[in-house]
Chain A
């Protein structure tokens, strides 16, 4: 237990006195004790110090899910640095952007394949002999750090057209671990299956709750249902955190080939709504396990959950505020929503992040005092989620949609600006409008409407998207607009007109690709 920890590193290190020999990380090929991970973290910490990393410096980590990744994060925390863990699915171009934006002093990467050129940052590669021969750490005392200090930056897509770094303090991370551990009832004999990346707040929270309780985390680097089930059985997983696309596959697999998972105590979902047909099947394929539907946004880490005892009555609800946080709904015209009404979810409490790295204006838009709450909390800043939510008669919350143009696809928040910027860089179009289309499996999928330059083709543009965008951002369909797009009197693209035309007039629609067709068919079946 790390009940008195105040920093990310203490959350881990407080286990060493009494459970250095207890298993902490279970990789597919072997497991590692708290003590063994500490030794590896010390080795990396020494490299960081020798390399010139000082307290406050940002260090990028892009590693496969492995003990090394955990040790690297702990090493950065140990020397007082700021962890910038990057999703392995990001393209080299995005990695370069983030390294530049964060002003990274050092990078710890899987291999040279993702290596950028032209930066003078220090680089440590997981597949290198340098890593193999890292010196044993000196055991110097970890750098003392305030709990209000920046601990990690989580990069997320944002409405400014480029990924934005959300700044989390040690206090944010610890408050998140304590809250989630409390409502999930986690214990020191838990073994949580981690398949989601630690670059994602929900995935990171599995690691921090594990450390808080001195429990164990099972690493499953492959997001394939058959492999996830195998790892759960082999290692006796007591908890599983997944996102809707993975639950869809897990439920289909377990319906086709039921597997006994007697150790399983709970499964949790976040990152979007699970389709109803899948939700209804979950109690049968996970018998005896609690099903916990959760909601959170990176800017406030975690926000709400549906108490599992209400699952059968309220399937699909996101429930209520988590322990240690408050949420309110602000109605469109002002005022707070009452039961039966809807409004934008705002989040108050110790999980409210420090805002966006180097983007004070974006921070002030997102995290600001709420006039509706002034009589309760004065001008304490709260997070405006941008999510419209309805409160039912009992006070439980239901996700309705976004109040802005952000597209929510399979747990990723994608801004149309970001997609459009990348499409423009192809130099194949004159006009482009990106928008979300409802999709049962993904929540929304991304479509773009484009006016092509002479000689440019839809196929060439799709090729370009594939190489410059991460998979989740690649459009499912490209609507080719036959002429210049309509504009408003002020000369801006008439976006709503373009989107509406694409949604209603198949005339403009070059058939959505075969995959979406197939998905529609399989849904009907």
Chain B
């Protein structure tokens, strides 16, 4: 199943309690919005939806700090 922006955004809201103002450019980790447990859960969700396996060393701020970055990373990997 594909990883859509809407699905990802929904999952991030579920994990964080972010309010309606959050956008696909809202920083998730660098602001402390998501903790280590939420990250583990988010990674598992992305793997499930995209069918890719994320290596531990790919989990960086560059790749994961916003919904947009996650989508770009996922597209790069599946392209």
Contacts and interface: CB of A to CB of B under 8 A. Distances in A.
Partners in one complex: yes
Nearest to B11: A515
A257 B58 CA distance: 10
Nearest to A409: B37
A222 interface: yes
A293 B28 CA distance: 30
A354 B79 CA distance: 59
Interface stretch (A46-54, A308-316, A463-471): A463-471
A257 B30 CA distance: 22
Given A255-B56, A471-B34, A462 B14 contact: yes
Tell me the dominant secondary structure on chain B's binding face. Answer: helix
A471 B31 contact: no
Contact of B40 (A64, A226, A249): A249
Contact of A441 (B40, B49, B57): B40
B2 to A, nearest CB: 13
Interface string A448-476: 00000000000000100011011110100
A515 B44 contact: yes
B62 to A, nearest CB: 9
Contacts of B61: 222, 224, 226-227
Contacts of A121: none
Nearest to B43: A249
Nearest to A474: B14
A5 to B, nearest CB: 30
Interface residues of B, number: 31
A419 to B, nearest CB: 14
B15 interface: yes
B36 interface: yes
Contacts of A253: 56-57, 59
Contacts of A256: 55-57
A91 B36 contact: no
A88 interface: yes
Contacts of B73: none
Nearest to B17: A91
B37 A245 contact: yes
Interface residues of A, number: 42
Contacts of B31: 64
A434 B48 CA distance: 26
A74 to B, nearest CB: 21
A226 B32 CA distance: 15
Nearest to A227: B61
Nearest to B38: A471
A248 B56 CA distance: 10
Contacts of B34: 223, 471
A515 B59 contact: no
Nearest to A521: B48
Contact of A467 (B17, B30, B36): B17
Nearest to B31: A64
B37 A471 contact: yes
B39 A249 contact: yes
Given A223-B35, A256-B55, A467-B19, A518 B47 contact: yes
Given A64-B32, A89-B35, A249 B45 contact: no
A508 interface: no
A70 to B, nearest CB: 16
A245 B19 contact: no
A65 interface: yes
B14 A410 contact: no
Contacts of B17: 89, 91, 466-467, 469-471
Interface string A466-488: 11011110100000000000000
A91 B29 CA distance: 16
Given A253-B57, A514-B48, A471 B32 contact: no
A257 B57 contact: yes
Contacts of B33: 89
Given A224-B60, A255-B56, A518 B48 contact: yes
Contacts of B72: none
Contact of B44 (A91, A410, A519): A519
Contacts of B64: 224
A254 B40 CA distance: 16
B75 interface: no
Given A223-B29, A224-B39, A248-B40, A471 B55 contact: no
A477 B39 CA distance: 18
Interface of B: 13-17, 19, 29-41, 44-45, 47-49, 55-57, 59-61, 64
Given A223-B32, A472-B35, 12 more contacts: A195-B36, A223-B35, A224-B39, A226-B61, A227-B60, A245-B39, A410-B37, A471-B14, A471-B15, A471-B35, A518-B44, A518-B45
Ranked 10 nearest A-B pairs via Cβ: A253-B56, A223-B36, A252-B56, A246-B36, A257-B57, A518-B48, A245-B37, A256-B56, A518-B44, A410-B37
Interface of A: 64-65, 88-89, 91, 195, 221-227, 242-243, 245-246, 248-249, 252-257, 410, 441-442, 462, 466-467, 469-472, 474, 514-515, 517-519, 522
12 contacts: A89-B33, A223-B32, A224-B29, A224-B36, A224-B64, A225-B56, A226-B60, A253-B57, A442-B37, A467-B19, A471-B16, A517-B48
